[in-house]
Amino acid sequence: MSADLYDLLEVDRSASQDDLKKAYRRLARQLHPDANPGDAVAEAKFKEVSQAYEILSDPERRAHYDTYGADLGQGGNPFGGGSVQDIFNMFFGGGQGGFGGFGGGGGIRRGPQPGPDAEKVMDITLLEAAEGVTRDVSATLPVRCVSCDGSGAAPGTGVVTCDGCKGSGEIRQVRQTLLGQMVQMGVCSRCQGFGTRIETPCTDCRGEGRRTETVTISVPVPAGVEDGSTMRLNNKGPAGVRGGANGTLYVHLRVAPDDRFERDGDDLHHEATIAYTQAVLGTTITVPTLHGDTTLEVAPGSSHGTVLRVPGEGVTHLRHRGKGDLFVHLAIEVPNRVDDETERLLRELAAHRDEAVGEGHRGLFHRRSSRK
């Protein structure tokens, strides 16, 4: 990968780790094979972006790249492929020899490294969010090669201990300086820090130990999640190179709106429309819940905006037992026009109650139409 890693992630070199993560997630969503089926260019760019983030998200590898313009062990390092931390350890690290023999210790990452993180968006219904559900999602990501079981070696062959580092994954060189004996440590350039080498690479994965495939992952969604929640599935992300552990898969939940309800935390709200006669005289209404319809008694004399509570018909509490409630808000419907008989009865009622009323639909426009 010859392109500048920062350019690939579309960030500047001073970007924080949080900036890098945001940029990677944005680009991964745009370039992911799921979003670009059959687009080889997008898939190639997705792999480059993932590799760039894998390097820059590691402080040690990023420091090495910033200093030498190459990833660990890829050449161009006057200190033998080690990181900036390795150089620091060379001068100040603990070890044998005291002032006359600075020792090197720790700091070098050896062996297969875990795969990068990945993201996936999953759509669920309000009922599934309220009650919980286990759903299968498809994801296209690197998985362990079944032909070589992730080793990267062709079937029937194996890996051999690197003769350059004797399996340690690092090279140590002792130098005599004016300050005394110093030990220089760096990643072994022959095995890239794995400690082993592949003499006959697997033809299915080209020695990488992983292949990009579309897999089905079971996602257990707990009851009570909200729209925009993110689930972290450890060891369900992309496989690492040559037997490295899987990364983390982040599943972003998108809860589809339900026109019947408005959610407020663990409570649900529903608006029920009733006639003004029902509000005055009382009635029985049928309202929806997440599990079917139920009936409610509307008391005589109920006003517009009266709220009826249905206990336990809300969303399951995410972190403790129980459920929220369903609140039904009464909306009194006033018709724009009524027929003649209804108007006559209403006028009689108004007269009985000594209430002043307007002319209604028998006003100006009615008189004009009656003259025709």
In the prediction, which pLDDT does 104 show? 39
In the prediction, which pLDDT does 262 show? 97
Block mean pLDDT (10 aa), the chain, length 372: 81 90 87 79 84 86 74 41 40 37 44 86 96 94 93 90 86 72 79 86 92 94 94 93 91 95 97 95 96 96 96 94 96 90 90 86 46 46
CA distance 216 to 250: 14
In the prediction, which pLDDT does 324 show? 96
CATH number assigned to the domain covering 58-255: 2.60.260.20
Angle between helices 40-56 and 17-31 (to 10 degrees): 170
Residues of each domain in the chain carrying CATH 2.60.260.20: 58-255, 262-333
CA distance 157 to 319: 51
CATH of 262-333, one of 2.30.130.40, 3.30.70.870, 3.40.640.10, 2.60.260.20: 2.60.260.20
In the prediction, which pLDDT does 293 show? 96
CA distance 246 to 364: 79
- Tokens 């990643």 appear where? 187
In the prediction, which pLDDT does 42 show? 83
* The pairing of beta strand 262-264 with beta strand 170-177: unpaired
DSSP 205-249: TTTSSEEEEEEEEEEEEPTT--TT-EEEETT-SPPPGGGPPP--E
Short-list 297, 234, 228, CA closest to 257: 228
- Tokens 């620091």 appear where? 88
Into which CATH architecture does domain 1-57 fall?
Orthogonal Bundle (1.10)
CA distance 315 to 129: 8
Residues of each domain in the chain carrying CATH 1.10.287.110: 1-57
Cβ within 8 Å of residue 142, ≥6 positions away: 115, 210, 211, 212, 213, 238, 239
Angle between helices 59-68 and 84-92 (to 10 degrees): 100
In the prediction, which pLDDT does 232 show? 92
CA distance 179 to 23: 45
Q: Are 66 and 83 in contact (CB under 8 A)?
A: no
In the prediction, which pLDDT does 361 show? 58
pTM, full prediction: 0.61
In the prediction, which pLDDT does 360 show? 67
